[in-house]
Amino acid sequence: MPAWIVVLALAAQTAPASPAPSQEPGLVRPGHANARCKDSPIVPRFEGCTIRECVERDYDEAELQAGPVDGTGDFPKKLVEGQLSVVTYVCPTGATLEDIARRSQAALRRGGFTVVYSGDMYYNQLPGFTARKGRQWVQVVSEPFDEGTGYTVTAVRAVAEETAPRPRPASQRPRGKTTD
């Protein structure tokens, strides 16, 4: 066996373990699998919940549910393009799916958001909702996990705020018959 392998093996065995991060009493360290994940600034993390996964993109699109599933199994969708953030949290088993959706929705309403749709999400009847405030869109879907319950927050800061089409002033409307 080469000597350098023996030296590396001995160094690994005798190296001190990395020190535990210091933590102030009462400070809750965020739990998550990826160090770059951060909490959604729009929907608060509930006590005891940890981040399971996240996605952040400067520009992407999200298809958000805008109404209930109809008889054909489809539902109204709102495609929103812009800065995207998706954070999935896992919570202790004591938190019910309905409670997570209700508490999230109440927090957004207090923050001035308007609920676009609230009810069963997608095809699997999970409680959740879609809301918006100006260009900011948010969808929260409660979901069960093997380790307990949880929720996914999809937030999109739209590129441009929607505006309803305005009718043309009478002076700019075409007059008479037009031919192609």
Q: How many CA atoms lie within 13 A of 85 on its CB side?
A: 15
Task: Please indicate, yes or no, if residue 175 is contained in any of the structural domains.
Answer: no
Instruction: Specify whether the CB–CB gap between 81 and 63 falls below 8 A.
Output: no
Check whether 148 has a pLDDT greater than 50: yes
Q: How far apart are CA 170 and CA 24, in angstroms?
A: 68
- Predicted local confidence at residue 21, as pLDDT: 35
Sorting pLDDT into bands at 50, 70 and 90, what band is 93?
confident
Instruction: Specify whether the CB–CB gap between 129 and 101 falls below 8 A.
Output: yes
Whole-structure pTM value: 0.70
Give the total number of structural domains in the chain: 1
- Predicted local confidence at residue 5, as pLDDT: 32
Task: Please indicate, yes or no, if residue 26 is contained in any of the structural domains.
Answer: no
Instruction: Specify whether the CB–CB gap between 152 and 87 falls below 8 A.
Output: yes
Task: Please indicate, yes or no, if residue 102 is contained in any of the structural domains.
Answer: yes
Q: Could you list the residue range(s) of the whole structural domain that residue 95 is in?
A: 46-160
- Predicted local confidence at residue 140, as pLDDT: 96
Task: Please indicate, yes or no, if residue 110 is contained in any of the structural domains.
Answer: yes
Check whether 116 has a pLDDT greater than 90: yes
Share of the chain above pLDDT 70, in %: 69
Answer with the residue of higher pLDDT: 23 or 160.
160
Average pLDDT on 12-23 reads 34
